[in-house]
């Protein structure tokens, strides 16, 4: 399997692209690789963002508890 996938539809696409331009399948493979790498990087960024947001919410909740406790003294 490559970036174009597997199965009959992928073979038809690969054949059509190959007939259109000899380097088309290599381009498809490279494009698929780039898209895959980009999605992995975006997932990592989203995970870090989620972790930071969770930490910020926890800190905000803790600060709210401290401020509330100071107001009731």
Q: Give pLDDT tens digits for 5-51.
A: 667 887 888 787 767 776 767 777 888 889 999 999 999 999 999 99
Q: What is the pTM of this model?
A: 0.53
- Cα separation, 70 vs 68, in Å, equals 5
Q: Give the total number of structural domains in the chain.
A: 1
Residue 31 lies in a domain: yes
Residue 1 lies in a domain: no
Q: Which residue range(s) make up the domain with 31?
A: 8-71
Q: Take residue 19 and report the two structure tokens written for it.
A: 């007939």
Residue 62 lies in a domain: yes
Residue 3 lies in a domain: no
SS3 30: helix
Residue 2 lies in a domain: no
Residue 44 lies in a domain: yes
Give the confidence band of 2 by pLDDT, cuts at 50, 70, 90. low
């Amino acid at each position: 399997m490559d970036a174009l996938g597997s199965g009959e539809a992928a073979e038809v696409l690969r054949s059509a692209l190959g007939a259109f331009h000899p380097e088309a399948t290599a381009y498809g493979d490279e494009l698929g690789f780039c898209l895959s790498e980009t999605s992995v990087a975006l997932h990592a960024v989203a995970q870090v963002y989620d972790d930071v947001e969770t930490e910020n919410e926890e800190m905000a909740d803790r600060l709210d508890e401290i401020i509330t406790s100071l107001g009731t003294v």
